[in-house]
Structure 1
Amino acid sequence: MQELTQTQAIDLVGRFEAGQEIPERMRADVRMLGALLGRVLRESGSPGLFDDVERLRTATIQAYTDETPEAFARAAAIADSFTIERADEVARAFTCYFHLVNLTEEHQRVRVLRERDGRPDREDASDSVAAAFMRLAAEVGDDTALARLRALRFHPVFTAHPTEARRRAVSTSIRRLADLLAAHDASLDGGADRRRAERRMLEEIDTLWRTAPLRPEKPSPTDEVRAVMAVFDDTLFTAIPHVYRRVDDALQGPAAGGRAPVVQPFVRVGSWVGGDRDGNPFVTASVTRKAAAIASEHVLLGLERAAVRIGRTLTLDAATTPPSDALLALWRRLKDADEDAAKDIAKRSPDEPHRRIVLLLARKIAATRTRDADLAYRDPEDLLADLRIVQDSLAAARAPRQAYGHLQQLIWQVETFGFHLTELEVRQHSAVHAKVLAELDAAGDDAVRSELAEEVLEVFRAIAFLQDRYGPRAAGRYIVSFTQSAQDLANVHRLARYAVGERGTVPVLEVIPLFETFADLRAAPGILAEIVEHPAFAERLEQTGRRLEVMLGYSDSSKDVGPVAANLALYEAQAEIADWAQREGIELTLFHGRGGALGRGGGPANSAVLAQPPHSVDGRFKLTEQGEVIFARYGDPAIAMRHIDQVAAAVLMASAPSNEERNRDAAERYADVAAAMDEASRARFFELVKADGFAAWFARVTPMEEVGLLALGSRPARRGLSVESLEDLRAIPWVFAWTQARINLAGWFGLGTALERVGDEERLRVAYREWPLLRTLIDNVGMSLAKADARIARHYLDLGDRDDLAALVMDEMTLTRDWVVRITGGAELLDNKPILQRAVKMRSPYVDALSLLQLRALRALRTDEVADPDQQRLLLLSVSGVAAGLQNTG
């Protein structure tokens, strides 16, 4: 097949783009940014680069639309024809394009959210907290619904798992482009402001093009902490209280803001960044202290600035807004402690008592940040007490709008973030604890301890220090990976006592078991029953009001038995644990260790929440937010508010009688389907992964080894052994490598065989409608398969010498795709999810271009005796680009 003429190419690209049902304003954004990128490639790329990019783009679109082997072969030949230097430039160009497309999609989401919010006649979204409260009240009554709203808790925990392939410099450039795109929207067509915005976007895209896409070295844990802080600074500090305000506005109507809010803070932000040391030797006790210090610096600076801003607006005269006796007493205390500043503020704020107080409170917050002992607050509760004195005084003086307006926002921020910002959690492997205790018991108190033992003990000293400095919420949750028995948890308390000695203060610890593997999930209910009988934990349970947190891992179980059996095992474990907690009178919080990729529990969180077993949520939902998901969900304020509102609404509705009854009935009605699917999917998965030589074959047909070379995160990609031991490979590279090969096996393998075993198509269609667990599973598999590509997958599988394993993978992909389409209805994948289908189709040909460049590099690396660094670089560039194109890759 010959290359198309320029006219034919333009016509083909135009028809492809026109065929995608993209909103017109988003289409205009894509065209504008694409044209600006094209201009940058002409101006800043090497001669002929733009033309070569267009040749490959046209060829991959043609191959995608007509699906003939000849068209695919022509596109591959173009990718193979480039010099290595040109291939590098082309890979970078397509990666830049994906960053711009991702930006336009995000901008369109924000645009839709703001337009919806701006409609005066709109009703609140059906999946908002306010709407959920109304539905819940209709089922359980107003008082019970209000009590559940006030007990609501959504607890995202940010982790540093290495699935964000973008450099921070790239992310920052994209955020600047987002601001410019918003300014472009707000400007007049053809006006000077619009021309200025376009000129600045051209400059920023040129910067993006010239910025090296790959990190020169792995980030340190401290670098990872600072990256997460950017999300707090740009989004969370203001977005979370705005969510509370929206809910209160909806529930109180015109009275909102003029009286005490109904809603109480329901978001808590956790972090493993700088605390998760399981398998990461670079996270030390010193790093943990630094992580907490960085977080505290950010939140205290935010609180200080908010207090100054509010104080300057409270120009309320004492004659119109008389201070309460408590406020006057507070003024005297503050004046005595900070006499010169009080005198200066009083001079600038005559007869404005509330303004004076808040400005002095801002100085106390600043003193807390700088560790000025004479002025610093001891803990956030003291600050809250002072703020409430101001609020009560304003309310008593008949100034409720000032009492419950911006001042309430500040109170919500202190209640949500404290002086610590994120609740830093520590995680360590149970085997490490056992090894250190064995050493300590054998050696005695006076012996010289190993480096490992000293570091483990220092972690507990660090926790005690953080609790003393920033408050008990700053650190205290301690997760034990691979918990096998109650003794694994008791070991943590023993080590804490060892660390501080007889006279030291033992830190207050909530020790959390983590069950990750398939076997551990099966054993979890029995281990928990043993735990609560252990003397140390029985006492601790009573002290905490019989509250218990249990973490369930999604990744390792999926790698153990495949995604279908793992999902069913997770549901069963949650159901059994929840039933046990109900019988024991325990207030259970299940902590979901979910990744961004579908093979690691990813997908829409709100639908997953509503599919949980009865009593497994009960108004509390905690989950990990990892890698690129952090920035996708929390990087923009409007999107972050929408995400938090949606998930919190699902958490509130999960324990509604109607939802619990639906899940319970469906689980019972389709128990035989679940059993058949579990058995068949596991057998099929084992047929693949337990085949002789599978691990080496997997490493050859995917860029698994090379992914480990990417400077994604501080944590090693494997647990120290060769890939010959698949069990020792971490779940993240397992998922990431299959995604890069356009196979996405970790997200779907075994489902087709499982559905085939059930066989009854009509019953499965009914089950898809009635059984939330199956619906969530099939919808996620549909998304995973839509991002896979059978044509490209075959070329990756051809890199191996195992036709039997390659055929097994392709046969299962075809079978699974067929069953998913039949059950969900329509003619192709995602027909029931048109917006998602549109996004996937729009990207796919461009991802194909990067995949062809990656295949070219991978073939060279697999045939050369010595790895060519130029080919290695091309491979890593393409990995970064494919990750940007596919998203939720890890």
Structure 2
Amino acid sequence: MLRKPKIDRFNENVLSRYQIYNSIFITLPFDEISNTGVLLPLFSELCDNGYEENQNPSQIVERFFKKYYDKPSEEERFDLLFRFIQYIERQVVLFDAIEDATFPIVNNMDGIGTLRNMREEAEAKNKVAELKACLEEFNIRPVLTAHPTQFYPSSVLVIITDLAEAIRKNDLNLIKKLLAQLGKTPFFKKEKPSPFDEAVSLIWYLEHVFYHSASQIYNYIQDNIYIDNDLDNQVINLGFWPGGDRDGNPFVTTDITLKVADRLRTTVLRNYYRDVRRLRRRISFKYVDKLILDLENNLYENIFLESSQSTASVDYTMGTLLEIREILIEKHQSLFVEEVNSLINKVKLFGFHFAALDIRQDSRVHHNVLSTIVEESLDMGLDIFPKDYLKLSDEQQIDALSKVVGKVNPSLIKDQMSRLTLESIYAMKTIQKNNGELGCNRYIISNNGSVLNVMQAFAMIRMCDWETPTVDVIPLFETVDDLEIAHKVMETLYSNKAYAEHLKRRGNKQTIMLGFSDGTKDGGYLMANWSIYKAKETLTAISRQYGIKVIFFDGRGGPPARGGGKTHQFYASLGPTIENQEVQLTIQGQTISSNFGTLDSCQYNMEQLISSGIVNNVFNDEDDRLSEEDRDTMNRLAAISYQSYIDFKKHPKFLPYLENMSTLKYYAKTNIGSRPSKRGGSDELVFSALRAIPFVGSWSQLKQNVPGFYGVGIAIDTFVKNNEFDKVASLYKNSTFFRTLLENSMMSLSKSYFKLTAYMQNDDEYGEFWQIIHKEYERSKAMILKVTGYKELMQDTLSMKASIEVREKIVLPLLTIQQYALKEIQQLKKEGKDVDAKRLEVFERMVTRSLFGNINASRNSA
């Protein structure tokens, strides 16, 4: 029987179910206004029709109340609009749950990009030996971060999980109860979460999803590819940022870092204990019954002990399991050996650390810390810096830092930030002692732009009584300028005797992080992506020259504007000029729940990441690289796009538009993350202080996804006007990388809806600026369709296009309410001293609350 097209599977299993369950949901009597569920579809229809008739959000809201209400009071109007927001938030949850439930039906779990498909292709092409060789070295590292792009509290995430399971079983009675529970469960967080709260939320995914999915993948590789011998490579390494990411987050303390590491350890022990307990029910044979009982007791006792008091160890756990396996093979006909092997694989993957906790801090903080230590070192009795250190040139400081070792006592340092920064390094040593080296062995330097930045961090680590540190120092290059000089920075480091010796001890491997989010914010969509691509090429070349294996760690977000989009295709598109032994990337916010939130989706998407590396290393043609002409075309496109984006940023209305016409200032009020929404303490809006997430998110709330397309249209159109379109067409035909860029940009364009804010074109102050954005949207859409030959955006991914369309339809009434509230706020503020503070507060609360549903509805952007 032929498998139906993906779009048909989507329509039959997702869309039809949503229509059925949503009709049940909107009739449930769980609010004070019993007609809310009946009125919302009417309001939604008015929104659709209103924008087609060129009405603005205020006109649509007024038309609704005039048509369906008999002179309501202002309080009644407000109550209903807030109820609409609550309903829409939950409709998004319902749609999430249905997509989760039907994931293995809509997606082919054995199709292209899965391990089974890779194995069969290798067998067909007689490349099994190459596949094995690749898997002996290749790794993926998904790194979970708490960057605030996920608005669901943990209670709602649990409902999504349970609802998906009920939908999978078609348990209508339970579905009704869960929908009713959903209707009464609050979404809004009254207080900001602490970094430890964020960590606990994400550890839930490690415990209930990644633990099982990652081991399932490893079992498959071991049982179906490495049949006759053990695979001596993890393949999957998990990373973790909450509790260790100090960049711009003053709430991450040393105590929290240690608590998070301890929680990771106790959680994985708890999982091992559950597995061992289940295993003991089966392994009741002579010689092994006592071994498994002793292991169970040992794990159970240590779940409740602090790491420093632990009596358990990876060596004992692994050694016991290997001994049990050997006895089963020799004396019990290998009965239940598969179950023991599965647990052995889990201990290989997760050790006692579960996921590696990364430490991250900004280079500017390191500079201040070094300056403080230099100034206070003599008072502390430390003679480790030249007396005139702060007056030395950068080269002289680098030379001095290369020789720095010592034991600085953080408690003697007066400056709080300096003390906390050094304490975090001592915490790394403690975590390594308790959880193993893999528990915390990476120090990331944000905003890295020079050799000095790296050497300052390296020196700080060595002066914390750690002369030969078991730590990888990882520079993060983010801006276009920093990316251009990254290879020069690394060449100088590779030539530095002290740093080169450190790299030799670390196996001559150097991890380098590249930031998409701030790169896009800095240089625009095309230039950011192309700059990262070129930086990877030059960094690969210089690293190979010095005998260093470079590993790239990508700071990718959810939407294409932050490096997201079709992630797997992106990695598979990188050619032989870019080192690809590992795929490391951050997994943020709603990307965690959407791409890795269920056992099926987690396994599928991790297999896709693994297959992207296999494609590059096993199946790619060595000649699959950009020609000089195509490279020149890409350079020119990026340069034109970059200049147009820079001009756009320099427009005098750029920041005022974001500040006054978008939801930017309301992100800080949502309490979705522990980090402040901008760097620094100034009330004045400064572009450099803007974080990428609120920046990109604000454009998304406006349905003007500027960071995902601005400059693309201008760049291609320039080639068209110069009668050089054939060069762009050639690039598109020859470069998978360029095709992936355009496909991701199409997603940003598909999620834009300018009719929502069309009223702004008549605004005295911002009308011209809105028209600039809209013109580039229309131009980018037309140019991309011209290059791809498509008749409509995303016509090659109809199921994802359909999912986006449903989600956009769900949230359109919510965004209408948001824009209505923003217009009212603008009007009220024009009144100056006579402003009605109470009404202003209501409308501002309306804007803040309406942020939730729209962001959550964008989960399929990753």
User: Are residue 302 (structure 1) and residue 271 (structure 2) matched?
Assistant: yes
Structure 2 residue aligned with 1:379: 313
Residues paired across the two proteins, number = 803
Q: Which amino acid aligns with 1:36?
A: I
State which of 596, 600, 606 in structure 1 corresponds to 2:558: 596
Distance 1:808 1:469, change over 3 A: same
Cα separation, partners in 2 of 1:407 and 1:862, compared to 1, 3 Å: same
Deviation at 1:51, TM superposition (A): 3.1
Which residue does the alignment assign to 1:341? none
Q: What CA distance in whole angstroms lies between the structure 1 residues aligned with 2:425 and 2:308?
A: 28
Q: Partners of 1:470 and 1:455 in 2: how far apart?
A: 21
Determine if the alignment matches structure 1 residue 172 to structure 2 residue 172.
no
Which residue in the other structure is 2:13 paired with?
25
Counterparts of residues 231-246 of structure 1 (less than 5 Å): 231-246=205-220
Q: Please give the alpha-carbon distance, in whole angstroms, between the structure 2 residues aligned to 1:694 and 1:636.
A: 40
Q: How far apart are 1:657 and its partner, in Å?
A: 6.3
Determine whether 1:527 maps to 2:467.
no
CA distance in 2 between partners of 1:269 and 1:564 (Å): 30
Q: What does residue 118 of structure 2 align with?
A: 132
User: Take 1:779 and 1:658, find their aligned partners in 2: how far apart are those partners?
Assistant: 21
- CA-CA distance at 1:603 after TM superposition: 0.9
Which residue number corresponds to residue 711 of structure 1? 671
**CA distance in 2: counterparts of 1:61 and 1:807, whole angstroms:** 22
Q: Is the 8 A contact 1:56 1:78 kept in 2?
A: no
Match of 2:463 in 1: 498
Letter in 2 for 1:431: R
SS of the residue 1:656 aligns to: helix
Which of residues 370, 389, 400 in structure 1 aligns to 2:323? 389
Q: Indicate whether 1:870 and 2:842 are aligned.
A: yes
Offset at residue 481 of structure 1 (A) = 1.1
In the TM superposition, residue 271 of structure 1 has moved relative to its aligned partner by 0.5
3-state SS of paired residue (1:590): strand
Tell me the amino acid that sits aligned with residue 244 of structure 2: G
Q: Return the alpha-carbon distance in structure 1 between the equivalents of residues 662 and 511 of structure 2.
A: 38
Q: Is the 8 A contact 1:79 1:87 kept in 2?
A: no
Change (3 A) 1:434 1:89: same
1:414 corresponds, among 344, 347, 365, to 347
Residue type at the aligned position of 2:315: E
Say whether residues 1:647 and 2:573 are aligned partners: no
Aligned to 1:347: none
Tell me which residue corresponds to 1:579: 541
CA gap of 1:22–1:592, structure 2 versus 1, over 3 A, is closer
Contact kept in structure 2, 1:595 and 1:626, CA below 8 Å: yes
CA distance in 1, matches of 2:513, 2:746: 27
Q: 1:621 to 1:491 in 2, by over 3 A?
A: same
Please point out which of 792, 800, 805 is paired with 2:756: 792
Deviates further, 394-403 or 589-598: 394-403
Which amino acid in the other structure matches residue 266 of structure 1? V
1:143 aligns with 2:77: no
User: Matches of 1:761 and 1:755 in 2, distance apart?
Assistant: 8
CA distance in 2, matches of 1:885, 1:573: 33
**Residue in structure 1 matched with residue 71 of structure 2 by the alignment:** none
**Aligned-residue offset at 1:701:** 1.8
Give yes or no for contact 1:688–1:694 (8 Å, CA) kept in 2: yes
Amino acid at match of 1:851: L
In structure 2, the residue matched to 1:194 is none
Name the aligned partner's letter for residue 651 of structure 1.
Answer: G
Q: CA deviation at 1:569?
A: 0.6
Matched, 1:441 2:405: no
Q: Distance in 2 between matches of 1:802 and 1:579?
A: 47
How far apart, in 2, do the equivalents of 1:137 and 1:715 lie?
49
Query: Which letter maps to 1:129?
Result: L
Deviation at 1:397, TM superposition (A): 3.6
1:792-839 Cα shifts (integer Å, max 9, x gaps): 132456667133321211110000011122222332211121111211
Task: Find the counterpart in structure 1 of residue 832 from structure 2.
Answer: none
- Alignment partner of 1:466 is 2:431: yes
Cα drift, residue 765 of structure 1: 3.6
Q: TM-score, normalised by structure 2?
A: 0.88
Among 83, 89, 95, the residue aligned to 1:101: 95
1:850 corresponds to which residue?
814
State the alpha-carbon separation in 1 of the partners of residues 243 and 728 from structure 2. 45
State the match for 2:696 in structure 1: 735
Quote how far apart the aligned CAs of 1:889 are: 6.9
Residues 510-589 of structure 1: pairs in structure 2 closer than 5 A? 510-589=472-551
The secondary structure found in structure 2 opposite 1:473 is helix
| Structure 1 residues 484 and 137: alpha-carbon distance in aligned structure 2, compared to 1, 3 A threshold | farther
Q: Kindly indicate whether the alpha-carbon contact (under 8 Å) linking 1:165 and 1:712 is maintained by their aligned counterparts in 2.
A: yes
Supply the distance in 2 between the matched residues of 1:496 and 1:797 (Cα, whole angstroms). Answer: 54
CA shift, 1:110, in A, is 2.9
Judged with a 3 Å threshold, the aligned counterparts in structure 2 of structure 1 residues 61 and 803 are, in CA distance, closer, same or farther, namely closer
- 8 A Cα contact 2:480 2:528, kept in partner: yes
Structure 2 letter corresponding to 1:780 = N
Aligned position for 1:320: none
Q: For 1:667 and 1:291, locate their aligned partners in 2 and report how far apart those are by CA, in whole Å.
A: 48
Alignment partner of 1:52 out of 15, 35, 39: 39
In the alignment, is the contact (CA less than 8 A) between 1:163 and 1:627 conserved in 2?
Answer: yes
CA spacing shift, 1:69–1:696, aligned 2, 3 Å: closer
Alpha-carbon deviation of 1:182?
2.1
User: In the alignment, is residue 315 of structure 1 matched against residue 284 of structure 2?
Assistant: yes
Structure 2 equivalent of residue 685 of structure 1: 645
Aligned match of 1:11: none
SS at match of 2:104: helix
- In the other structure, the counterpart of 1:4 is none
CA offsets, 1:149-206, max 9 Å, x none?
121201000111111022222222222211221232xxxxxxxxxxxx3232222212
Q: TM-score, normalised by structure 1?
A: 0.86
Structure 1 contact 514–553 (Cα < 8 Å) conserved: yes
> Which whole-Å CA distance do the structure 1 matches of 2:183 and 2:192 have between them?
21
> 1:58-96, CA deviations, whole angstroms, 9 ceiling, x for partnerless residues?
2234457xx342698864544676711111001111121
Partner of 1:819: 783
**Cα distance change, pair 843–880 in 1 and its aligned pair in 2 (3 A):** same
Q: Deviations over 1:717-772 (max 9, x none)?
A: 10023453112111111100000000011111110011112224454344323211
Q: Give 2:572's match in structure 1, choosing from 610, 632, 640.
A: 610
Please state whether the residue corresponding to 2:358 is helix, strand or coil. Answer: strand
Identity of counterpart residues, as a percentage? 23
Tell me the distance in 1 between the aligned counterparts of 2:303 and 2:130. Answer: 41
Once the two structures are TM-superposed, the CA of residue 659 in structure 1 deviates from its matched residue by: 4.5
Provide structure 1 residue ranges, at least 5 long, that are not aligned to the other structure: 1-18, 118-123, 185-196, 317-351
Following TM superposition, by how much is the alpha carbon of 1:402 offset from its aligned partner in structure 2, in angstroms? 2.7
Q: C-alpha distance in 1, partners of 2:555/2:825?
A: 35
Residue 806 of structure 1: which of 770, 773, 781 is its match?
770
Retained in 2: the 8 A contact 1:681–1:754? yes
Report the alpha carbon displacement of residue 384 of structure 1 after superposing the two structures with TM: 1.6
Deviations along 1:358-388, one digit per CA (max 9) or x if unpaired, are 2211222233333499995563133222222
Task: Single out whichever of 549-558 and 801-810 deviates more from structure 2.
Answer: 801-810
The match for 1:756 among 692, 714, 717 is: 717
Could you give the per-residue CA deviations for residues 228-275 of structure 1, whole angstroms, max 9, x where no partner exists?
0111222111111111223345437xxx6xx65558531110011100
Deviations 1:469-509 (A, max 9, x none): 11111001000112233332222233234334xxx787521
Aligned ranges for residues 651-670 of structure 1 at < 5 Å? 651-656=613-618, 658-662=620-624, 664=625, 666-670=626-630
Could you say if the C-alpha distance between residues 274 and 262 of structure 1 is closer, same or farther in structure 2, counting changes exceeding 3 Å?
Answer: closer
Q: Distance in 1 between matches of 2:449 and 2:807?
A: 44
Correspondences of 1:180-191 after superposition (within 5 Å)? 180-184=166-170
Alignment partner, residue 333 of structure 2:
399
1:267-297 C-alpha deviation (Å, 9 max, x unpaired): 1100111000010000111110011011111
Q: Answer yes or no: is the 8 Å Cα contact 1:744–1:785 preserved in 2.
A: yes
Q: Are the counterparts in 2 of residues 607 and 650 from structure 1 also a CA contact under 8 Å?
A: yes
Whichever residue aligns with residue 354 of structure 1, its letter is V
Kindly provide the amino acid, as one letter, of the partner of residue 860 in structure 1.
E
Q: Structure 1 residues 433 and 393 mapped into 2: Cα distance closer, same or farther (>3 Å)?
A: same
Partner residue, 1:427: 360
